[in-house]
Structure 1
C-alpha cells in the first residue's frame, strides 16, 4: 500500500472541496486499495465571493503554501477556481508558480495544481472544444470565467449563473437541483457540460445522473481537480460513478 499526502489550499469558508475530493478518492480506495490518500488543508480567509475578497485570498497563498510545506505533501492543490480566473486569463500559471516557489523555499518538492488549470486540463482530456457551464456566482464573475475559458480556446455555448454571493450559502445548495438547472441551458453544439464551475458548489451526486440524461460528458471543478491530482501522482485517473472524465 502506498500513502499519498495531498495538500489543499482552500477558502476559509470552504465546506465542499474537503468533502467531495476525499469522497472520490475514498471510493477509489475501496476498489483499488493499493493506493491510500490523506489530506492536509491550509485556509485562506474568504467569506463572500466578491472581487475584493478574492484578491485578498490570493494574497494569502504563499503563507498557506509555507504551512503546507511542513507536512511534506506529495502534491498541493489550490482550490478556488474563481479566485484565480477573476484575476485575468492565464493567471492559474502565475498562481501555481507562486505557490511552487513558496514550497521550494521550505524544502518541499511537491508539484502544484490549481482547480482553474485542472478544469482546462479536464476539458482537454475529454477532447471538448465547446462547453456549457453552471456557476453559483453573480453574473459579472461568471462572465470572467467565460472569458478565461474562451481565452484558453474553449468556447462557452451557454452559461447559467445562480447568483449566490455568500460562500457558505453556496456550499448549502442542493446538488440534486442541478438536474433542473441544466435544463435551462442550451446545449446545442456543446461537447461537454461543466455542472459546477466552482469547488464550493456541491455536484458530485448529480454528475453521473446528468451525464446520462444529457448524453454528454459531465465534469465539475472538483472532478477535474481529482483527475489532475491523480495524473500528477502518476496514477490512473479513475473514480467510480464520477463521470466520464474519471472513467480512465
Structure 2
C-alpha cells in the first residue's frame, strides 16, 4: 500500500521558489521510492526583503499555521530563512514553539519546523564546522545570517551576497549562474558550501554540479528543508542529484 503525505509550507507571498524546488525534490524521490506527496501552502504578505517588511510578515505566521492545520498536513515548515534569522540568535526555536502551539490548538499533530532551523540542522547532520555561503540579500541582512549561523557553532569562512532587495527578482535569478558565482567564493578549508542561504534564490539545478566541481559537499536551505521534512516523516532522506545531504549515505 502506498503512503501519501501532505507537505505544508508557510510561504512569503512573493516567494515562487519553495513551491517549485520542494515539490521538484520530492517528485524526483517518487521516481525511486513508493511514497507520494501533495503540497499545500499558506501565504504571508512580503515584497521587499527589508528588516521592516520581514517583521511585519512574521506577524502573519500564526494565521498561516492555523490554515495549514485545517488541511491536516503531515509536516509544516516556514519557507523564509532571513525572516527568522534577522530576528535574533536562536529565534527559529521560538518560532517553532509558537507555530506548534497553534497547530495543536487546531487539532493538527504535524511536526513543525522552519527553513532557518533546517539549514542549521542540515549542516550539523553533515558535521560541518566551517562553511562558505552565497545569498541574494543586501550586505547587512547577509551579515545577520552569518552571525546567526556562527552563533550555532559553525564558522562562516566567506560569504557572497548579490544585494537584490526585490523578492520577485530574487526568484527570477538563473540557478546555474551559481556554478560560476561559486568560483569567486573562498572555500579553502570549507566542510560544506551553501549554494543558496535563501529559499527564494533558485539553486536546485546547481547543487550537484557545484558539489561535483569542487569536491565539497553542497547544500541549499531548500535542500535542508526537504531533508528536515523527510526526517520528520520518518522517510529515507534520499533525492537523486540533490547533493550529499539527500544522497542517503
TM-score w.r.t. structure 1 length? 0.99
Number of the residue aligned with 2:222: 222
Q: Secondary structure at the match of 1:156?
A: strand
Query: CA separation in 1, counterparts of 2:108 and 2:175?
Result: 36
Q: Secondary structure at the match of 1:127?
A: coil
Query: CA separation in 2, counterparts of 1:88 and 1:133?
Result: 19
* Counterpart mapping for 1:83-102 below 5 A: 83-102=83-102
Q: Deviations over 1:172-222 (max 9, x none)?
A: 000111011111111111100000000000000010001011110000000
Q: Secondary structure at the match of 1:124?
A: helix
Query: CA separation in 2, counterparts of 1:161 and 1:213?
Result: 21
Number of the residue aligned with 1:231: 231
Number of the residue aligned with 1:140: 140
Number of the residue aligned with 1:193: 193
Deviation at 1:155? Answer: 0.2
Query: CA separation in 2, counterparts of 1:194 and 1:169?
Result: 20
Number of positions where the alignment pairs a residue of Structure 1 with one of Structure 2: 247
Deviation at 1:113? Answer: 1.0
Does residue 132 of structure 2 align to residue 162 of structure 1? no
Number of the residue aligned with 1:126: 126
Q: Deviations over 1:150-174 (max 9, x none)?
A: 0000100000000000000000000
Moved >4 Å (runs of 4+): none
Deviation at 1:237? Answer: 0.5
Q: Secondary structure at the match of 1:72?
A: coil
Number of the residue aligned with 1:29: 30
Query: CA separation in 2, counterparts of 1:224 and 1:69?
Result: 23
- For structure 2, the 5+ residue unaligned runs are none
* Counterpart mapping for 1:195-214 below 5 A: 195-214=195-214
Q: Secondary structure at the match of 1:40?
A: strand
Q: Secondary structure at the match of 2:73?
A: coil
Q: Secondary structure at the match of 1:4?
A: strand
Query: CA separation in 2, counterparts of 1:209 and 1:74?
Result: 32
Deviation at 1:127? Answer: 1.2
Number of the residue aligned with 2:177: 177
Deviation at 1:241? Answer: 0.3
Number of the residue aligned with 2:242: 242
Query: CA separation in 2, counterparts of 1:48 and 1:114?
Result: 20
Q: Deviations over 1:12-58 (max 9, x none)?
A: 001000000000000000111x2001111000000110001101111
